[in-house]
Amino acid sequence: MLTMLKNAILNLVKPSATINYPFTPIPSAKEARGALKIDGPLCIFCGLCSKACPAQAIQVSRADKHWEVDPYQCVNCGACVDVCPKKCLGFEEKYTAAAQKKSNVEFNG
């Protein structure tokens, strides 16, 4: 009883435990899997990432030299990052903000 009373009184003077989102950005951990990114010029359009993706979020066309990911279908597991032979795939530490319009992340070589 007194333990919780002590906590309740301390809470009056302590700073807030929550973040004033979206005005204050959320701090992300080091090497967090926020959003998939590609270092374009390195990509050879081999399509291994597309084959490894469990959510079928990545489309690659070798003929058109086109790479595309649907960030709303991506589950941020990192299976594509593991198989990439050129190590051009990676993760941004920041989580993507909510968007009004859904659009894919594309890259043309």
Partner 1 sequence: MKTVIPFGPQHPVLPEPFHVKLHMEGETIEGLDLQVGYCHRGLERIFQTDYKKVTFLIERICGICSFLHTLGYVRAVEEIMELTVPRRALIIRTIMAELERIHSHLLIIGLYGDALGYENYFMQSWRDRELVMELLEYISGNRVNYAMNQVGGVRRDLDEDRVKAAHKAIDELEKRTGDISKVLLNDVSIKLRTQGIAKLSKEDAIALGTVGPVARASGVAYDVRNTGYLIYPELNFKPIWETAGDNYARMQVRIRELFESYRMVREALKLLETEGSGEIMLAIKPNQRPNGQAFVRTEAPRGECFHYVKANGTPDLERVRVRTPTYANIYALTKMLPGADLADLPVAVVTIDPCLSCTDR
Q: Which residues bind partner 1 (CB under 8 A)?
A: 1, 3-4, 7-8, 17, 29-33, 52-55, 75-79, 82, 91
40, 104 Cβ separation under 8 angstroms: no
What are the b/e assignments for 16-39, b being 16+ CB within 10 Å?
eeeeeeeeeeeeeeeeebbbbebe
Q: How far is the CB of 96 from partner 1 (least distance, A)?
A: 13
DSSP count for the chain of H helices, then E strands = 3, 5
| Run of H or E residues at 11 | helix 2-13
Q: Name which of 82 and 106 has its Cβ closer to partner 1.
A: 82
Q: Name which of 66 and 96 has its Cβ closer to partner 1.
A: 96
Q: How far is the CB of 108 from partner 1 (least distance, A)?
A: 27
Q: How far is the CB of 32 from partner 1 (least distance, A)?
A: 5
Q: Name which of 52 and 66 has its Cβ closer to partner 1.
A: 52
